[in-house]
């Protein structure tokens, strides 16, 4: 811990040249006495630092001293500092470790490289959450990380969305995937590769058993196959033509984009003044739901078979909600 702290003091002084002992103590969450002892240790090691008393005193690093042992270029430092997923590392239980690692790299990089990396970090933000989505709670993620790295089997309690209570199963972890802010455990269960959404894992027990031997495929390949298989099972794309009112266009397309088929965008049909658009929705049910939910501001024009389904569904809904209480039996026609 002290070695980490000494490196952090060095990089802070390399950046600011002069800081008070109180400022350093606050940044490092230690006492001023500890900071002064660390300054003495750095000085004894040959680092040109010293302390000054008085109103304008503090902890000082002599001008011209830099540590550039890493050989990092400014662009390499930007890539490392800006794209390190701090949020993801924190969820994995490695937030402080990432901070310490970056501090060590910064201590050995040139002041120019670190400054440029921080400049990029100030204008770059990675938001892993989807629109309208909340950050998922994944308290068991650090345990899963440790088990996957150690190659240990785990017993998990998994809450399926269609089940009343969690069910237990023993799995062989192969890895963890961060998919747009949602964590998935990739694991073998009874010889088959599966995915488990980490936010639905309510309990984890790491067993003192090694995982069963796998087929040696890299995690990226396994995930690509699992993802492709899932998308093929749930995807039945349908192309629809709609008329969208000007008042709701922005909000409608913002919501509808989550239901569009991969790599498609709404496209105007004919004269843009006609307010007609063509969408490729990933399945019929989402297409039907969009049209019904946004009517009458959104009107379906094609295809004919979906139009017929809209008519049938609206007739059913009309009968359902004409009852005094939805779900109650319809009144008998015979009195």
The domain ranges of the chain are: 2-61, 74-122, 141-233, 238-322
CATH top class, domain 2-61: mainly alpha
As a CATH number, domain 141-233 is 2.30.30
Q: Which two tokens stand for residue 73?
A: 């270029």
Tell me the C-alpha to C-alpha distance, in Å, between residue 312 and each of 288, 299, 317, 330.
11, 15, 9, 18
- Please spell the DSSP secondary structure of 72-98, one letter per residue: --HHHHHHHHHHS-HHHHHHTT-HHHH
Are residues 18 and 57 in contact, defined by beta-carbon separation less than 8 angstroms?
A: no
pLDDT reported for residue 335: 46
Mean pLDDT of the chain: 84
Question: Is the whole model's pTM more than 0.95, yes or no?
Answer: no
pLDDT by residue for the chain (335 residues), tens only, comes to: 566 788 788 878 877 888 999 999 988 889 999 999 999 988 887 888 899 887 767 899 888 776 654 556 677 777 776 665 677 888 888 888 777 777 767 766 667 777 777 777 778 777 777 777 777 899 999 999 999 999 999 999 999 988 889 999 999 999 999 988 889 999 999 989 999 999 999 999 999 999 999 888 899 999 999 988 887 776 778 999 999 988 898 899 888 888 888 666 788 887 766 689 999 998 899 999 999 999 999 999 999 999 999 999 999 998 888 876 766 666 555 44
CATH 3.40.1350 assigned to domain 238-322? The reply is: no
């Amino acid at each position: 811990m002290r070695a980490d702290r000494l490196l952090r003091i060095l990089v802070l002084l390399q950046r600011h040249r002069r800081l008070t002992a109180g400022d350093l103590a606050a940044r490092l969450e230690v006492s001023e006495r500890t900071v002064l002892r660390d300054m003495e240790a750095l000085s004894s090691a040959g680092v040109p630092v010293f302390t000054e008393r008085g109103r304008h005193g503090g902890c000082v690093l002599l001008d011209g001293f830099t540590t550039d042992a890493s050989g990092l270029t400014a662009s390499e430092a930007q890539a490392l500092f800006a794209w390190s997923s701090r949020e993801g590392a924190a969820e994995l239980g490695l937030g402080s470790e990432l901070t310490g690692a970056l501090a060590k790299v910064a201590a050995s990089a040139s002041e120019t490289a670190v400054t440029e990396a921080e400049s990029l970090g100030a204008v770059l933000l990675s938001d892993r959450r989807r629109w309208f989505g909340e950050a998922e709670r994944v308290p068991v993620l650090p345990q899963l990380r440790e088990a996957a790295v150690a190659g240990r089997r785990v017993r998990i309690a998994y809450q399926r969305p269609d089940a009343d209570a969690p069910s237990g199963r023993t799995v062989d972890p192969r890895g963890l995937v961060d998919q747009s802010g949602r964590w998935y455990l990739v694991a073998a269960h009874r010889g088959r590769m599966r995915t488990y959404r980490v936010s639905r894992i309510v309990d984890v027990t790491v067993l003192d058993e090694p995982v069963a031997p796998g087929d040696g495929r890299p995690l990226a390949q396994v995930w690509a196959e699992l993802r492709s298989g899932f998308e093929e099972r749930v995807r039945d794309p349908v192309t629809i033509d709609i008329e969208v009112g000007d008042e709701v266009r922005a909000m409608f397309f913002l919501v509808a984009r989550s239901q569009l088929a991969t790599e498609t965008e709404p496209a105007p049909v004919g004269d843009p003044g006609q307010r007609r658009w063509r969408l490729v929705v990933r399945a019929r049910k989402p297409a039907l739901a969009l049209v019904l939910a946004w009517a009458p501001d959104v009107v379906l024009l094609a295809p004919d078979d979906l139009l017929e389904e809209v008519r049938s569904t609206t007739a059913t809904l009309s009968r359902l909600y004409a009852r005094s209480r939805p779900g109650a039996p319809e009144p008998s026609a015979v009195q």
